[in-house]
Amino acid sequence: MAEFGPGIDEPDFVLRVANGVISHLKELDNIIAKAAPEWPIEQISIIDRNVLRIGLSELLFANREEVPPKVAMNEAIELAKAYGGPNSGKFVNGVLGTIYRELGEPGKDMQPPPKKGAEQKTKNEEEKTVE
């Protein structure tokens, strides 16, 4: 790994990302094709295509505590800006944004658990109402 990624301080993470892309490649490409129908997958530049695959793999299959969805998207956009063409960041942002909106924000619909004090108060209030 040292010869291909000098300075990478988390080689296990890199391997998980690469293996995630490889194991879900066809599924990722199908999702990208649906989100960007005017851009056949083989016509997307190799950098943009692989950045989309990485970002989408993290968005769909990564541990959300390790890589929150918005972080996965932002990192993909930054990779596209750094290594792609002049419009790569906008393109990756548009495709991943479309997919993210269709999926819905993970956990957004879930309400946070009540605080202990609030939960206790609710029980006490219920008891007073029943009496």
Angle between helices 46-61 and 88-103 (to 10 degrees): 30
Q: Which domains does the chain have, with CATH numbers?
A: 11-130 (1.10.940.10)
Of residues 120 and 98, more confidently modeled: 98
| Token pair for 80 | 């596209």
CA dist 38 and 54 (Å) reads 21
pLDDT tier at 64 (50, 70, 90 boundaries)? Answer: confident
Q: What tens digit of pLDDT does each residue of 29-44 get?
A: 999 999 999 999 999 9
pLDDT value of residue 120: 47
Cβ atoms of 93 and 56 within 8 Å: the answer is no
Give the chain's mean pLDDT.
81
Of residues 2 and 91, more confidently modeled: 91
DSSP 2: T
Using the predicted structure, report yes or no on whether residue 1 has a pLDDT greater than 90: no
Diameter of the chain measured on Cα atoms: 74
DSSP state string for 56-123: HHHHHHS-TTTS-HHHHHHHHHHHHHHHS-TTHHHHHHHHHHHHHHHH--TTTTSPPPPPHHHHHHHH
Of residues 59 and 121, more confidently modeled: 59
Q: What tens digit of pLDDT does each residue of 67-105 get?
A: 888 999 999 999 999 999 999 999 999 999 999 998 876
pLDDT tier at 6 (50, 70, 90 boundaries)? Answer: low
Q: Which residue has the tokens 């190799």?
A: 46
